[in-house]
Chain A
Amino acid sequence: MSSTAEKTMKTDSMFINLGPQHPSTHGVLRVGLTIEGELITKAVPDIGYLHRGTSKLAEVRGYHHCVVLTDRWDYVAAMPNNLVFCLAAEKLMEVQAPPRAEALRVLMCELNRVASHLLFFGTYGIDIGAFTPFLYAFREREMILDLFEMACGARLTYNYIRLGGVMADVPPEWLAKCREFVDYFKPRIDEYDTLLTYNPIFMARTKEVGLIPAADAVSWSLSGANLRGSGVCYDVRKSDPYCGYERYSFDVPLGQTGSCWDRYFCRVQEMRQSIRIIEQVLGGLPEGPTMAAGVAKIPKPKPGEAYAHVEGARGDLGIFLVSDGQASPYRMHVRAPSFLNLAILQELLVGNKVSDVIAILGSIDIVLGEVDR
């Protein structure tokens, strides 16, 4: 950055609306940018364009119906949303999902994590200007969506993980198809590395940009790959295992400097780890029922509260449920990782170029459905 030229040639500042209708805001985010030349002096993220009030809606719906609402938060990775609500509600209802259901939940969540990271990989490529990786990522993502469609009939809003288990067992052809996908997908990640990860232009665009020191990452309450990209080892699957994650061996990829590239690389590595978990689950899928006995059609849990959190595709996704003994929750609060990750944007963008806004915003990997809920 040629700082001397920018200091001596001060010009009038200009206000730019980045979004809500902009190709690269990944949804309906508006960022009010004040720029001097191409340098950003102020950035104000403006959210709320996709607010649907799911927390309030949950208060007038039965527990089974609330699972449908969860699909709409992070619509790119809806399985962990289903799962986290079910885990919290199961704590309230004192129900335990059977082993096969737990394994299927892990399988689906990891597949969905891969699908979500593929979407990130593809759109991040577009943000940096490479269009081709997007199509490659979507080619593979389609296969995962096909698998989901085989399992539950939906490609985006699954509603597959239900209270007490999963909606249905997977069809008999499914496991072979899943193995076929895993075998096909593993070499593709190496291909992505040659295409984008180690591309000199891509690295020049992302390596020194959007640095988040580890202390900042913690104090801004980041989670997921944004936190791990800064070198902080925190993964709910390791620190607070659920659904039997402690049984599977996998690594938590960490970044070094907290740059855009580190966050990107963490996600690419996480895809490999997810594939490792999927292989382990496929290798030892327990037999048995996929739904716990004794789940009421209209559950009325005892008054109390429960908190459950899972490692969603975007970070530490948590649900706080309060029951007053009625058929619908008294209160549902969502700890949405995208919302908390987005907050650092206003500090991160200042001092960067307009082009870097897109690189940084893309690397945070937000889903506006989850930010606004």
Chain B
Amino acid sequence: MSEEPKPDAKAPAAKAAPAKKTFPPAKFNEKAGRLLKTTRYWPTELWANPWNKPSYRRGALLLGGIILGLLATGAAVGELAVWGDRLYAWLLAFISARGGSPVLAQGIWAVFKGLLVLHVILLNGLWAVWWERKISAHIQSRVGPVYAGGFHGWAQTICDGIKLLLKEDITPAASDAWVHALAPAIVVVPVVAAFAPVSFGRQLAAANLDVGVLYVFAMAGISVIGIVMAGWASGNKYSLLGGLRACAQLVSYELPRGFSIVPVLMFAGSLNISAIAAAQAGYKWGFLPRWFIFYPVVGQLAFLIFLIASIAETNRTPFDIPEAESELVSGFHTEYSGMKWSIFFLSEYGYVLLASFLLAAFFLGGGASPFAFDHLIPSWIWMLGKAMLMMFLFLWARWTFPRLRADQLMDFNWKFLLPWSFANIALAGVWLLLS
């Protein structure tokens, strides 16, 4: 009884204190951590001078070490074609010693080479996705994948691949199920086939085709059918628009792409990709490689047109209209999931690699060393290095440029690239007449 009035007596006294009707000054709630005492990581210090950061210096050293290590490995291994010949000779001896016919050996050898080419494309998928993510990340001041695998996220694509394999394979109710399932196969098979005559170094091609250039373009042209099928069969308006755009774009850009290398064919006098690469051997004035890109005007023009048309052919920004993410959601592969979806990407990266190797073979001398004094580094290392440099151009363009509109894309093709590729053929003719 006597205790109860006490709180009542105290309460009015406590309430009387803030009766001034002003807010007390707000205090920072340090206990709950709701207010930052200072900011999080800001890029201002790194921006001043990245070399001040030890990790930056370590990374540069590591990159240099990896490149030197690759060069040293190449020098130690030597030409791959020599090893291939040894292996084939051993296989031939092994089979004929057991009474088999040489045809069997040739068949096994052809299958072996086919599998190698197939694996080039599959491994390229793993490598290119990781590389693209890393490059895009560093262009965009991010770090990209870092956790999977430990070292700079090297296992990221493998994990992604497993994830894609395990994902549900969705076939929309409105789709044409057979065409929907067939489309990815029709897109990816021509990529694999197109790699047959591609030169990976001196005398290093799965098939030494005399019509190699025509064969590659013919094969690459088939994929558009698969893309249109994918767009049509998905039963989605965005996919349909994407498929139609892809059809128009790919068919159009094949023209300047084909015509841009006519000067190269005229200079080399051959359609065989290995022969074109071999035709660029030697050095002018003892130091300047006789690569077609160094032919004044004609070479550079052909290179640029081929590069731009190749970017358009691979549906990459600034020409990624068929899969314009902000407009058509994902274009023709909107309704694809899991492995079918990743097969589209496998073929896209396959085409990027194909274009990179073609650029290297047509314009950068194939496996020829850029230095006249270099007799140590084998041709396949140079070829790989040049192809990767070209691939970097693809990635660089993709993460720098905005996207053209569909009609602007067509204008650019028909009113700019195609006339200039014709003019370039005429220029090449004049060049050949004069020299």
Partner-B contacts on A (CB < 8 A): 1-2, 14, 16, 22-24, 38, 125-132, 135-136, 139, 142-143, 146-147, 149-150, 152-153, 164, 167-169, 171, 173, 177, 180-181, 184, 195-196, 199, 201-202, 204-205, 291, 293-297, 353-358
Q: For the complex, what is the distance from the CA of A152 to the CA of B44, rounded to whole Å?
A: 23
* A153 and B406 alpha carbons, distance in the complex (Å): 46
Interface residues on B, range: 35 or more
The 4 closest A-B pairs by CB, nearest first: A129-B403, A168-B26, A135-B140, A130-B402
CA distance A286 to B207 in the complex (A): 80
Q: Which of A38, A129, A294 has the most CB of B within 10 A?
A: A129
CB-CB < 8 A to A2: which residues of B? 407
- Chain A nearest Cβ from B54, distance in angstroms: 22
Chain B residues with CB below 8 A from A181, complex form? 42
Tell me whether A294 and B22 are in contact (CB under 8 A).
yes
A177 CB contacts on chain B under 8 angstroms:
38-39
Interface pair B42/A180, CB less than 8 Å apart: yes
Residues of chain B touching chain A, judged by Cβ–Cβ distance below 8 Å, are: 21-23, 25-29, 34-40, 42-44, 47, 136, 139-142, 237-238, 241, 317-318, 320-321, 324-329, 399-408
Residue numbers in B under 8 Å from A353 (CB-CB): 405-407
Interface of A is mostly: helix
> Chain A contacts of B400 at CB under 8 A?
130, 132, 195
Pairs across A and B, CB under 8 Å, 6 listed: A136-B140, A143-B39, A150-B35, A168-B26, A177-B38, A353-B407
On whether A129 and B320 interact (CB within 8 A), knowing A23-B325, A135-B141, the answer reads yes
Check B237–A14 contact: CB distance below 8 A: yes
Given A22-B329, A180-B42, A291-B22, also A128-B403 (CB < 8 A): yes
Flag if A355 contacts B26 (CB, 8 Å): no
**In the complex the two chains form, what is the Cα distance from A195 to B400 in whole Å?**
8
A292 and chain B: residue at smallest CB distance: B22
Q: Say whether B35 contacts A171, CB under 8 Å.
A: yes
**Least Cβ–Cβ distance between A177 and chain B, in angstroms:** 6
Q: Are A1 and B329 in contact (CB under 8 A)?
A: no
Nearest B-chain residue to A127, judged by Cβ = B326
A335 to B171, CA, bound (A): 46
User: Chain B residue with minimal CB distance to A162?
Assistant: B23
A168 and B28 contacting across the interface, CB-CB below 8 Å:
yes
Contacts of B141 in A (CB 8 A): 135-136, 139
Chain A residues in 8 Å Cβ range of B408? 204-205
Find the B residue at minimum CB distance from A38. Answer: B406
Chain B residues, Cβ within 8 Å of A167:
26
Chain A CB count within 10 A is highest, among B27, B142, B405, for: B405
Pairwise interchain contact A149-B21, C-beta atoms closer than 8 A: no
B399 contact set on A, CB distance < 8 A: 131-132
Enumerate chain B residues within 8 angstroms of A168, measured Cβ to Cβ: 25-28
Residue of B nearest to A139 (CB): B141
Task: Check A24/B402 contact, CB under 8 A, given A132-B140, A146-B36.
Answer: no
- Select which of A150, A152, A296, A355 is within 8 A of B406 by beta carbon: A355
Q: A residues within 8 A CB of B401? A: 129-130, 199, 201
Q: Which residues of B contact A125 (CB under 8 A)?
A: 402
Least distance between A307 CB and chain B CB atoms (Å): 26
Q: Give the docked Cα–Cα distance between A199 and B401 (Å).
A: 8
